[in-house]
Amino acid sequence: MKDILTAPFVEDMKRATANMYRQGWDERNGGNISFMLEEEQVAEYLDLNNVIREIPTGFDATDLIGKIFIVTGTGKYFKNVEVAPETNLGIIRIAKDGTTAELLWGYADGGKFTSELPAHLMSHMARLKVDPQNRVVMHSHPTYTLAMNHIHELDEQKLTHTLWEMCTECIVVFPEGIGVLPWMVCGNNEIGIATAEKMKDFRLVIWGLHGIYGVGKDMDEAFGLIETVEKAAQLYMLATASGKRINTITDENLWAIVERFSLQEQCRKDFLNL
């Protein structure tokens, strides 16, 4: 059996959490990540018959029975994952009842998965129906994205359009736009249900005045989506602080980019004023 601490998926979590903490996106114990793993790859490092303990999830994830995830822990700081992954991360499998997580590794101090796990599982279920390659769900609190929430309408069309205008690559990176939810209490199933509903159409969902959810086939893709939104939000905040904007990427320019990269089917043309 290989050493679990050398597993590529553990290394991915260590790098992602460290990067997100250094970016200032995940202060204290803010933010969480879940990564759906292949049983075959986990079996190289763990005895899948050895269940350490069972933890109720508070959610019926019947569609994910038998699926294995590596998940950040509740109350854990991203900055500590690099030095103590076995305490700050856990590998869980959704049990046959659909409402229990079987702990296969991690949470060594007796802890458990993030309180946002139901929202993650709901998002995984929604995205797998759209794209089976989407295996990562990532939640963080990017600084400029949050600042922008305070001065910009929390409207999907308007917010997406503004971000597309900020940087030429934006409409290429997230041509389908960004889903937006109003402020909601976090850590409950209601916000998870609302997020999963948005995930049917978007890979990015903003939680108003709280943070953002991004999904992808791997850590780089999910991180890159959020990173691009954050860069555009930063540009918006810097440009707005100057008191005026005299240049912008026009809607005609944006559609020219869409045509150049053959994104007509993915792009929300109704978010443009053409």
In a shared domain, residues 131 and 81: no
Backbone angles phi, psi at 211, to 5 degrees: 175, -150
In a shared domain, residues 133 and 63: no
The answer to whether residues 80 and 113 touch, using CB atoms and an 8 Å cutoff, is: no
Residue 8 has pLDDT above 90, yes or no: yes
Among the listed residues 89, 104, 97, the one whose alpha carbon sits nearest the alpha carbon of residue 32: 89
In a shared domain, residues 51 and 63: yes
Average pLDDT rounded to a whole number, residues 263-267: 98
pLDDT score of 245: 83
pLDDT score of 94: 98
In a shared domain, residues 90 and 141: no
pLDDT score of 156: 97
Domain of residue 157: give its range.
116-274
pTM: 0.96
In a shared domain, residues 110 and 120: no
pLDDT score of 170: 98
Among the listed residues 92, 84, 90, the one whose alpha carbon sits nearest the alpha carbon of residue 51: 92
pLDDT score of 162: 98
CATH number of the domain enclosing 235: 3.40.225.10
In a shared domain, residues 161 and 247: yes
In a shared domain, residues 177 and 244: yes
Domain end point (choices 115, 150, 165):
115
Average pLDDT rounded to a whole number, residues 63-84: 97
In a shared domain, residues 161 and 244: yes
pLDDT score of 243: 83
The answer to whether residues 87 and 76 touch, using CB atoms and an 8 Å cutoff, is: yes
CA pair distance 211, 38, nearest whole angstrom: 29
Count of structural domains, the chain: 2
In a shared domain, residues 146 and 18: no
pLDDT score of 107: 98
Q: Could you give the residue numbers annotated as active site?
A: 116
Domain end point (choices 74, 89, 115):
115
Average pLDDT rounded to a whole number, residues 90-112: 98
Domain end point (choices 61, 81, 115):
115
pLDDT score of 271: 98
In a shared domain, residues 129 and 249: yes
- List pLDDT tens digits, range 168-223: 999 999 999 999 999 999 988 999 999 999 999 999 999 999 999 999 999 999 99
